[in-house]
Amino acid sequence: MATILLLGSGELGKEFTIAAQRVGQTIIAVDSYAGAPAMQVADGNEVINMLDGASLDALVEKYQPDYIVPEIEAIRTERFYTYEEQGYTVVPSAKAANYTMNRKAIRDLAAKELGLKTAAYEYANSVETLRAAVQRIGTPCVVKPLMSSSGKGQSTIHSEADIETAWTYSQSGSRGDVAEVIVEAFISFEYEITLLTVTQKNGPTLFCPPIGHRQEDGDYRESWQPAPMESHHLKTAQEMAAAVTKALGGAGIWGVEFFVGENGVYFSELSPRPHDTGMVTLAGTQNLNEFELHLRAILGWPIPAITQERIGASAVVLASEHSDQPKVTGIETIASEAKSDFRIFGKPSAQPQRRMGVVVTYDSLSEDLVSVTERAKELASKLKVES
């Protein structure tokens, strides 16, 4: 069986670890702090600064893993090319991990090389260049650090007065040592989706039913599956997802995000790993959840098809204050509810707006998706994170 070096050990990594161990794989969970969620269920764990190339090299040499699986952005990803040259398998590929950890690389690939429709955009590396970019793009516009996750450092500029605050906030949320930001024209969209896309070693590219989601402050709050979507827009999104994943190469699951409006489908972002909005698949909405799909694709096991089994929704549980010993209360109330489930991530500390758990709800394919989503939100509100 394979040894997998998991770089990043959050809640997504924890579910991936569980999926891997169910079929006999060995997981070494790595993160920048002790007691991260995936470490609690892994076969071994390491605490290092993954932006330190020498520390990363030493870890790879120590374990000589069959697969190197990144789960976060803050990694010295250029080292992945060297690992591939040495014979290691980086998931999905060194190119994919390197490009998608930086919004500049993936946006230029999508827009300039592949010709995918995206929002108009520019880059800035200071308050002055940000101001100039905003003048050219126009307001409102969105500012995002080139390296960040879960909406950190992201804000919307409505007027000249917002520019300096947006720059400062972007730097506070940036990961790694990249100070640059992307400035995007604001798209008037009707809805946004995540299209989980599975590339296989020896099989066709597969698509999960689209997942709708609501974001707040750049981070997801609820998701639902299958998202109602016009068939021609879905076809366009699938074609875009297939093109960009093919260009990046490798096998695994990808979370490809799109905006959909009256002017069609716009490519937004891409993650080469399980996606947070995809936690809705833990509700049994598909024959295989996103973590099982990722694992099977990595190992080269065939995936004949992805089928929708029932409708479902997810809603996150957020902390509201700092705590070194957080406790989630209200679990008994949730456990008594039919057609629902929950995950408590087990993070060792909490701070305001940190994701600490998720509630999932489900029903048969003939039932109302809006009601299932509202039920997930209601149940999530009953779980409280306390000190």
Catalytic one of 276, 290, 292, 363: 276
Instruction: Give yes or no: 151 in active site.
Output: yes
Kind of pairing between the strands at 67-70 and 89-90: parallel
Please give the Cα distance from 242 to 224 (Å, whole number). Answer: 22
Instruction: Give yes or no: 257 in active site.
Output: yes
Between the CA of residue 268 and those of 102, 160, 228, 279, what are the distances in Å? 13, 25, 19, 20
Give the strand order in the sheet containing 155-157: 121-124, 181-185, 141-145, 155-157
Type of residue found at 72: I
Between the CA of residue 312 and those of 130, 189, 225, 265, 371, what are the distances in Å? 41, 23, 6, 24, 10
Catalytic one of 35, 151, 203, 330: 151
Instruction: Give yes or no: 310 in active site.
Output: no
Please give the Cα distance from 239 to 290 (Å, whole number). Answer: 20
Catalytic one of 100, 174, 277, 285: 277
Angle between helices 127-137 and 163-173 (to 10 degrees): 120
10 Å Cβ neighbour count for 61? 9
Catalytic one of 355, 357, 361, 363: 355
Type of residue found at 315: A
Catalytic one of 257, 290, 292, 341: 257
**Structural Rg of the chain based on CA atoms:** 20
Please give the Cα distance from 48 to 148 (Å, whole number). Answer: 19
Catalytic one of 43, 84, 269, 386: 269
At 53 the three-state DSSP class reads helix
Instruction: Give yes or no: 269 in active site.
Output: yes
At 266 the three-state DSSP class reads strand
Catalytic residue numbers read 149, 151, 257, 269, 276-277, 355
